[in-house]
Structure 1
């Protein structure tokens, strides 16, 4: 039980730093509601599960290849650039928007998948979670590996649910001007991440 609680807390704490996925979850929650935003987190967790499987089968080193990393930097940067521009150009962030202007749940799910498929996220998985999981697999076998992996995912899921719950409560107390401001701020932050991703891709090519 202590092992489970420890790694739920570990997964929760590691998920706290704000990145592109978190920013997009907040933006979509403001625009389209809790479930659409949560689907971004679910999309990201699909990649997390995939990484656990790759670590188990010893295939995660493919993401350490320069060509693979460079391609993912550019793809991720282009996608973040699109999201940032889209966020800044939104005319209104009112809750009364029609369903036709909202982010669909499947669309949000795909966003989560793409945003999680970045070298930074994947290498973080390999370097941090991968180290813990590989050690558990080697020292204690599949049982403990599975417990730790599921506990980490539980911590990430708990983080997403608490974040979106707080955002859902706060957004009821603010007006359309605040929604627009939040959308612009989110867009600018996404553009900053896009620039970082694209520059990282260029640096990989130069080096």
Structure 2
């Protein structure tokens, strides 16, 4: 595979709509381009940590029963809280014509936490990236495998920029009612994922 092929792989991995994309759209509408983009950056930093762990050979420990139980529990608590915050904030007045104020670090930490709190994301990266890495390192040098990993990361970054840009330039066409509905829907989506993770905890403990 060429460098461009790995960029396309990164784009393909990022395109499916999940918890991070929903949060990027929601914050982009409420706070503007940079808040949406910073959510994506937070997610990418978390992905980079996962990539580093896989490189370091820690992936085998992340798929043990004890580790998965911790990950499911962490995801359950975190996503329930973030989902609750989204529904709670939907009652606040939203002025689409002007950008509201919120610290960028909060958007970053939200993206970072959502990504690390999603066990599906962790298992996904281990399965997809781990297999790609194992395949690449049997054919190319370590330096080239790092280059290909950067290409995957670049693909994810390009998708995040695209989502943030689309939300930024389309936000003026959206009214406050739409934003409230989106916030509630996003909150329900996150809580739904949280309950799914909680169900996995119950299965692991009692089934």
User: Does the pair score TM above 0.5?
Assistant: yes
Is residue 9 of structure 2 the alignment partner of residue 10 of structure 1? yes
Is residue 129 of structure 2 the alignment partner of residue 113 of structure 1? no
Length-normalised TM-score, structure 2: 0.91
CA distance in 1, matches of 2:111, 2:150: 19
Q: For residues 87-114 of structure 1, what are the alpha-carbon distances to aligned partners after superposition, in whole Å with 9 as ceiling and x for unaligned?
A: 1222233234652xx3x21112112222
Q: Within 5 Å, which residues of 2 pair with 1:134-149?
A: 134-149=134-149
Q: Within 5 Å, which residues of 2 pair with 1:81-120?
A: 81-90=80-89, 91=91, 92-95=93-96, 96=98, 98-99=100-101, 102=102, 104-117=103-116, 118-120=118-120
Q: Within 5 Å, which residues of 2 pair with 1:1-207?
A: 3-90=2-89, 91=91, 92-95=93-96, 96=98, 98-99=100-101, 102=102, 104-117=103-116, 118-207=118-207
Q: For residues 73-100 of structure 1, what are the alpha-carbon distances to aligned partners after superposition, in whole Å with 9 as ceiling and x for unaligned?
A: 121221111121221222233234652x
RMSD (CA atoms): 1.6
Secondary structure of 1:172 counterpart: helix
Shift of residue 183 of structure 1? 1.3
Q: Judge which range, 171-180 or 146-155, deviates more.
A: 171-180
CA distance in 2, matches of 1:182, 1:111: 17
For structure 1, the 5+ residue unaligned runs are none
Secondary structure of 2:2 counterpart: helix
Shift of residue 132 of structure 1? 0.5
Alpha carbons of 1:4 and 1:94: their partners in 2 closer, same or farther (altered >3 Å)?
Answer: same
Secondary structure of 1:132 counterpart: helix
The total of aligned residue pairs comes to 203
Asked if the contact 2:30–2:100 (Cα under 8 Å) also holds between the matched residues in 1, the reply is no
Length-normalised TM-score, structure 1: 0.91
For structure 2, the 5+ residue unaligned runs are none
CA distance in 1, matches of 2:32, 2:85: 18
